[in-house]
Amino acid sequence: MLRSMYSGISGMKNFQVKLDVIGNNIANVNTYGFKKGRTTFKDLVSQQIAGASAPTAGAGGRGGVNPKQVGLGSQLATIDTVHTQGSLQNTARPLDLGISGDGFFKLMSGTEVTYTRAGNFYLDKTGQIVNADGKFLLATGNAKITIPPDAKSFSVGADGTVSFINNAGVLTTAGQIELAKFANNEGLEKAGGNEYRESTNSGNPLPSTPGGTGGAGTLVAGALEMSNVDLSEEFTEMIVAQRGFQANTRIITTSDEILQELVNLKR
């Protein structure tokens, strides 16, 4: 009885975490470049009631006996970040950039470099390309990209080359956007603000130019990558988590009723 009660408590805690992850996914259904989360569970240690025995030889021998074990509940195994490609939404804005592939934009603030899939970039008063938080978009060699304020027009190619026409009418290259590729994208740590930072399990970033040999993908100018959250999937998982939570509460109340019957044996 008490084992079942504590098993129910462990299940409730796990389904609460699952609901937390689902809630975060739904909250970011329209967040550019967002990658959804997923929870997985595993069972806790099992209490050994009786061990296994091997078959005995001879004419009067017996066959083997399987072990008898009682599980003690479940525990959280992983909270994964699912880095599948999100759909690209056309915006026709020249500084809206989508990545078709596995790469990440490189951002710099001070000496810290972070990585993002959100490609909504802007120009500051000096003509440097920044994100919504003012972090600089990096080109090859960790250089900043500057478009002169007096430039007549500019464009971004599929290979990441940023070009502009200066006031003399000459086509000039401002730099080539560099993408980062990781051996293990799921090992990246979320840093908030649509950004990631490398961890000890993500591997070091491998510099790559869009469309190059690094395998980071190509750029799509005038488009933004949408969140990869599927609302129908999230609502289905929410129902499963809710019913699982309710079932575990029923385990606790049933165990409590049986304990009450035991207490009532003494009147």
Burial class (CB in 10 A: 0-12, 13-18, 19+), 263: exposed
What mean pLDDT value characterizes the chain?
92
What percent of the chain has a predicted confidence (pLDDT) above 70?
Answer: 99
User: At 78, is the pLDDT very low, low, confident or very high (cuts 50, 70, 90)?
Assistant: very high
Average pLDDT of the segment spanning 242-247: 95
- Is a pLDDT exceeding 70 seen at residue 1? no
Rounded CA-CA distance 207/142 in Å is 10
pLDDT tens-digit map of 82-112: 999 999 999 999 999 999 999 999 999 999 9
Rounded CA-CA distance 178/32 in Å is 19
Rounded CA-CA distance 26/235 in Å is 9
- Is a pLDDT exceeding 90 seen at residue 137? yes
